[in-house]
Chains A and B, each alone.
Chain A
Amino acid sequence: MPAPCSSLMNRASQAERSLSQLVRTAATWVALLGVSFCAKATPLRPGNGNEVLERVRSAPLDASARELRMARQRLSAEPNNLELAIRFARLAIERNSVEGDPRYLGRAQAALSPWWDREDIPSRVLVLRGMIRQAQHDFKHALADLDLAVERDPTDAQAWLTKSAVLAVTGDYEKARQACIPLAQLAPGLISLAAAANVSCLNGDAERGCAVLRTALSNPAQPDSRERVWAFTILGEASRRLGREPEAEACFKRVLELAPRDVYALGAYADLLLDQGRARDAARLLSDGERADALLLRLALAESLLRPIPSNFAMHTNNLAARFQEGHLRGDFVHLREEAQFELSLAKRPAAALRLAQENWVIQREPADARLLLECARQAHDKQAAAPVLEFMRRTHIQDEQLNRLTESLEP
Chain B
Amino acid sequence: MNTPQQKPVPSRVRQWLGSALFTACLVASITPADAHNQSTAFLTIHAETRRLDVEWHIALRDLEDAIGLDTDDDGLITWNELCSRRDAVCAYALSRLHVKEHSIPLVLHFNDMLVDHHADGAYAVLRFQADRPPVAGTFSLDYGALFDIDSKHRALLRLDHGDKTQVAVFTPEHPDQEFELGDNHSQVVPFTSFVREGIWHIWTGYDHILFLLALLLPGVLRFERNRWEPVTAARPALFHVVRIVTAFTVAHTITLSLASLGVLHPPARWIEAAIAASVVLAAVNNLRPVVRESSWVVAFAFGLVHGFGFANALRALELQTGQLALSLFGFNLGVEVGQLAIVAVFMPLALSLRRLLFYPKVVLEFGSACIALIASGWLAERLLDVKWLPF
Binding site for B on A (CB under 8 A): 19, 22-23, 26, 29-30, 33-34, 36-37, 39-46, 48-60, 62, 64-65, 72, 90-91, 93-94, 96-98, 100-103, 105-107, 109-110, 113, 116, 131, 134-137, 155-158, 161-162, 164-166, 168-169, 177, 180-181, 184-189, 191-200, 205, 208-209, 212, 224, 226-227, 229-230, 233-234, 262-264, 267, 290-296, 319-320, 322-323, 326-327, 329-332, 334-335, 337-338, 364
Decide yes or no whether B5 CB sits under 8 A from chain A. yes
Expressed in whole angstroms, the minimum distance between the Cβ of B24 and any Cβ of chain A is 4
CA distance A331 to B174 in the complex (A): 13
Contacts of A294 in B (CB 8 A): 33-35
The reply to whether A263 and B174 contact each other, CB–CB distance below 8 Å, is no
Contacts of A34 in B (CB 8 A): 158, 165
Decide yes or no whether B262 CB sits under 8 A from chain A. no
Partner of A102, one of B35, B116, B171: B35
CB within 8 Å for A43 and B116 given contacts A52-B78, A200-B1, A327-B36: yes
Expressed in whole angstroms, the minimum distance between the Cβ of B358 and any Cβ of chain A is 64
CB within 8 Å for A60 and B74 given contacts A103-B61, A198-B30, A234-B30: yes
Instruction: Sort A-B residue pairs by CB-CB distance and give the 7 closest, nearest first.
Output: A106-B152, A292-B35, A165-B29, A184-B4, A226-B23, A264-B31, A319-B119
Q: Taking CB as reference atom, which chain B residue is nearest A33?
A: B167
Contacts of B119 in A (CB 8 A): 39, 290-291, 296, 319-320, 322-323
The reply to whether B35 and A101 contact each other, CB–CB distance below 8 Å, is yes
CA distance A37 to B65 in the complex (A): 24
The reply to whether B36 and A334 contact each other, CB–CB distance below 8 Å, is yes
Contacts of B12 in A (CB 8 A): 155-156
The reply to whether A329 and B2 contact each other, CB–CB distance below 8 Å, is no
Contacts of B115 in A (CB 8 A): 43-46, 53
The reply to whether B25 and A291 contact each other, CB–CB distance below 8 Å, is no
Decide yes or no whether B120 CB sits under 8 A from chain A. yes
Expressed in whole angstroms, the minimum distance between the Cβ of B301 and any Cβ of chain A is 52
CA distance A60 to B156 in the complex (A): 32
Interface string of B114-139 (1 = CB under 8 A from A): 11111111100100000000000000
Expressed in whole angstroms, the minimum distance between the Cβ of A233 and any Cβ of chain B is 7
Expressed in whole angstroms, the minimum distance between the Cβ of A367 and any Cβ of chain B is 12
Contacts of A48 in B (CB 8 A): 79
Decide yes or no whether B150 CB sits under 8 A from chain A. yes
Contacts of A334 in B (CB 8 A): 32-33, 36
The reply to whether A97 and B27 contact each other, CB–CB distance below 8 Å, is yes
Decide yes or no whether B383 CB sits under 8 A from chain A. no
The reply to whether B20 and A224 contact each other, CB–CB distance below 8 Å, is yes
The reply to whether B150 and A102 contact each other, CB–CB distance below 8 Å, is no
Interface string of B325-368 (1 = CB under 8 A from A): 00000000000000000000000000000000000000000000
Binding site for A on B (CB under 8 A): 1-7, 9-10, 12-13, 16-17, 19-40, 42, 44, 55, 57, 60-62, 64-65, 69-70, 74-80, 82-83, 114-122, 125, 147-154, 156, 158, 165-169, 171, 173-174, 177
CB within 8 Å for A44 and B114 given contacts A103-B150, A205-B1: yes
Contacts of A205 in B (CB 8 A): 1
Contacts of A319 in B (CB 8 A): 119
The reply to whether A188 and B6 contact each other, CB–CB distance below 8 Å, is yes
Report 19 cross-chain contacts, Cβ distance below 8 Å, ordered by A residue.
Answer: A39-B119, A55-B77, A101-B61, A103-B38, A107-B150, A134-B28, A137-B33, A157-B16, A184-B2, A184-B3, A186-B7, A187-B22, A189-B4, A209-B1, A226-B23, A226-B26, A227-B26, A294-B33, A331-B169
The reply to whether B168 and A226 contact each other, CB–CB distance below 8 Å, is no
The reply to whether B25 and A185 contact each other, CB–CB distance below 8 Å, is no
Contacts A54-B77, A205-B1 aside, 14 further interface pairs with beta carbons under 8 A come to A30-B167, A33-B165, A34-B165, A37-B158, A43-B114, A53-B82, A54-B122, A100-B34, A102-B34, A165-B29, A186-B7, A233-B30, A329-B167, A334-B33
CB within 8 Å for A226 and B17 given contacts A30-B166, A185-B4, A264-B34: no
Partner of B114, one of A36, A45, A131, A195: A45
CA distance A396 to B249 in the complex (A): 86
Contacts of B13 in A (CB 8 A): 155-158, 186-187
CA distance A161 to B17 in the complex (A): 12
CB within 8 Å for A187 and B17 given contacts A54-B61, A110-B147, A319-B119: yes
The reply to whether B158 and A19 contact each other, CB–CB distance below 8 Å, is no
CA distance A323 to B38 in the complex (A): 10
The reply to whether A30 and B35 contact each other, CB–CB distance below 8 Å, is no
Expressed in whole angstroms, the minimum distance between the Cβ of B140 and any Cβ of chain A is 14
CA distance A224 to B29 in the complex (A): 17
Contacts of A229 in B (CB 8 A): 23, 27
Contacts of B4 in A (CB 8 A): 184-185, 188-189, 192-193, 196
The reply to whether A53 and B122 contact each other, CB–CB distance below 8 Å, is yes
Contacts of B166 in A (CB 8 A): 26, 30
The reply to whether A37 and B42 contact each other, CB–CB distance below 8 Å, is yes
CB within 8 Å for A332 and B36 given contacts A40-B118, A109-B151, A180-B2: yes
Contacts of B168 in A (CB 8 A): 23, 26
Contacts of A164 in B (CB 8 A): 29
Expressed in whole angstroms, the minimum distance between the Cβ of B192 and any Cβ of chain A is 26
CB within 8 Å for A59 and B35 given contacts A188-B5, A323-B120: no
CB within 8 Å for A42 and B116 given contacts A53-B78, A230-B26: yes
Contacts of A107 in B (CB 8 A): 65, 149-150
Contacts of B167 in A (CB 8 A): 26, 29-30, 33, 329
The reply to whether B156 and A330 contact each other, CB–CB distance below 8 Å, is yes
CB within 8 Å for A93 and B36 given contacts A34-B165, A60-B74: no
